[in-house]
Amino acid sequence: MSGTPQKSNRSLASLNALLSGMELPESGPWAQAARADALTRLNVVGLPARRDEYWLFSRPDTLIQPEPVTAPLFKDADDAAVFSDIDQLQLVFNDGVFDADASDDLALAGVEISRLADVSAGDNHWATGLYGVLETNGQSPVSRPLAILNTAFAPDGILIRVTGKAGRPIGLKYNQVSENSDAMLHHVVQVEAGATLTLLENGGGAARLNTVLEVDVADGAAFNHVRAQGRNHERRAATHIFARLGAESVFKSFTLTANGALTRNECVVDVLGDNAIAHIAGAAVGDGDFHHDDTVFITHDSLNCESRQVFKKVLRNGATGVFQGKILVKPGAQKTDGYQKSQALLLDGDSQFLAKPELEIYADDVACSHGSTSGAIDDGALFYLQSRGVPLGLAQDLMVLAFMADALQEIEDEDIAEDIRSHLEAWLVRRRD
């Protein structure tokens, strides 16, 4: 599965088809070696194929075919955008192209911000030690070819070095402006020792979006990430987060996915320092043509660390949810406390949830477990609510929000959590029977 040297002709053909006409983009010379290396690696591992065990539940076809599937623009969004009430430094991308006029200045107390596409950056860029590096580390034991493709070809992205407490959150806004857009962005974040940053991402970004986020959270640093993936029903996305955690550091990532024909969110976290905390959570709501895949790999390689995976999916009208979550506890990673929870609420008989929780443990003094469930709304509770006068639709929404509550609790900032909650509620209200 990973880095198979003998690739089939078909796999080679699909890689050649995708790469024909593509050229490594221009960026600072510091990134060119990583890009060239990525292209070499991609030619070794090839593209994901249906027979790959890691792609058993999600078809990669539309993510790797040369042209993206057309996704008509999403129009009827009359409500306020996610995070619009959150004070932030906002950076805007249209179909993956940076929009300087719509963006704030790249100046923020405690933070250095630059762009991957900035060709004037010299050889000694701080991001050299991270760009493509965390991604490469994340290729073993399972290869993630779409991330390699991104390292090689992403024309732009934001490079953030945090040296203190960031004055306010940095928000990345992804707009889709054409229905055939194919966008790739690669962000690098270095949160230096003791520093803190909240990063927001919002929007579908393109008909097909491929993002990579590499995050190094140094000793005693904290990184909070909250993402909403847009409301376009037709869009497709493959995203990767690669995080490396130092001692006493905190990493928290939450993703809201409402709609989208195909979403594959991979999150690869290496917990390297002692007493670190990693929480990865998501709430996904899908109605109809919706395929949502959370693939998570957490490696514990240090003492006394905690990891949480909390994923909730609400599915109806044939929507599909996938969870592949793994906790790997390396020899010597004693006192690891790892838990993964993946739960689906199936609102009808047509929807499905496919879960593959995995624990692989080589230390003897750890507490690791998982809980994966799928079920319907409790009829008894619904009747109880109705018998108190709560109309059926509202009663169902209350139950659905209650079901997702513990994923939302993973969001550090209460205002941001409330913002996400209100958008989930609005999504439900729009679908009341």
Partner 1 sequence: MLNIKGLKVKLEDEDKVILKGLDLDVPAGAVHAIMGPNGSGKSTLSYVLSGRAGYEVTGGSATLDGIDLLDMAPEDRAAAGLFLAFQYPVEIPGVGNMTFLRTAVNSQRKARGEEEMSATEFLKTIRAKAKTLKINADMLKRPVNVGFSGGEKKRNEILQMAMLEPKMCILDETDSGLDVDAMKLVSEGVNALRDEGRSFLVITHYQRLLDHIKPDVVHILANGRIVKTGGPELALEVENNGYADILAEVS
Q: Give the interface with partner 1 as residue ranges (CB under 8 A).
A: 378-381, 383-392, 394-395, 398-399, 401-403, 405-406
Collapsed DSSP state (helix, strand, coil) of residue 24:
coil
| CB of 363 closer than 8 Å to CB of 341 | no
What is each CA distance from 288 to 259, 314, 319, 431, in whole angstroms? Answer: 9, 11, 5, 12
CB of 256 to partner 1, least distance (A): 17
Q: Which amino acid is at 390?
A: V
Of 167 and 391, nearer to partner 1 (C-beta) is 391
Task: Tell me the closest approach of the beta carbon of residue 363 to partner 1, in angstroms.
Answer: 33
Q: Please, what is the minimum distance in Å from the beta carbon of residue 420 to partner 1?
A: 15
| Shortest Å, Cβ 402 to partner 1 | 3
Residues ≥6 apart with Cβ < 8 Å to 57: 293, 322, 324, 354, 356
Alpha-carbon distances of 318 from 75, 267, 321, 351, 433, rounded to whole Å: 23, 26, 10, 4, 16
Q: CB-wise, 120 or 387, nearer to partner 1? A: 387
> Smaller CB distance to partner 1: residue 44 or 392?
392
Nearer to partner 1, 66 or 391 (CB): 391
Measure Cα distances from 33 to 30, 129, 131 in Å: 7, 12, 10
Cβ distance to partner 1 smaller for residue 280 or 408: 408
Of the pair 358, 418, the CB lying nearest partner 1 is at 418
Distance CA 100, CA 119 (A): 16
CA angle 381, 382, 385 (to 5 degrees): 85
In angstroms, rounded to a whole number, what is the distance separating the alpha carbons of residues 35 and 219? 28
Residue among 371 and 391 whose Cβ is closer to partner 1: 391
Structure tokens at 226: 């909250």
What residues pair up with 105 in beta bridges, in sequence order? none
CB of 52 to partner 1, least distance (A): 37
Distance of closest approach, residue 396 Cβ to partner 1, in angstroms: 12
Both tokens of 4, joined, read: 């198979």
State the distance between the two ends of the chain, measured CA to CA, in whole angstroms.
44
